[in-house]
Amino acid sequence: MNTLETIKWLVHDQVVHFVHLSEQRIESEQDKIFRYAQEQQLESIPRHLTSVHVIDCIGNNEPINNTTLAEKMNLSKAGITKISGKLLEEGYIHRRQLNDNKKEVYFSLTVKGKQVFELHKQLHKLEEKRFMQLLDSFKEAELHVILRFLQSVSTHWAKKEPE
């Protein structure tokens, strides 16, 4: 195998390893959120990380409707309807109609939802700081190559595979 082929396989193996670590990281993030919630004595927190991210999106964009929320989260409207129904039931969000449009529903956070939103924001700031410290070890030209690679991988993975 020539050097180029060897490097391609090393990149492949690292991407596979990265995916596995990402899955573990998501589980770790859920554990961290639950732990922080207990430390801050929050009465409850949604069980699913996607629900926490929906709360985050609502908190950053309130009031926000179902369609815009689905677009921003890159989820289906049906998925957002299901998650928002659960969040409404659990008291994390409010649903209301604006005066000029009785048909369209908008979401905003309750006090309980704002607590989860703030907690999530704190955790993300910590993670962003750690990640920026990692990126500090690369030169600008290297970061451009990394960015191009990640964009290519994202585009490749977003394509539908022929059945």
Per the DSSP assignment, residues forming a β-bridge with 53 are: none
Residues of the chain with pLDDT under 70: 160-163
pLDDT value of residue 35: 78
**Considering the domain 3-149 in this protein, what is its CATH number?**
1.10.10.10
Domain boundaries, the chain: 3-149
pLDDT tens-digit map of 5-34 = 999 999 999 998 988 888 887 777 777 777
pLDDT value of residue 82: 95
DSSP strand E in the chain: where? 64-65, 93-98, 101-109
Specify the pTM: 0.72
Contact 15, 7 (CB under 8 A): no
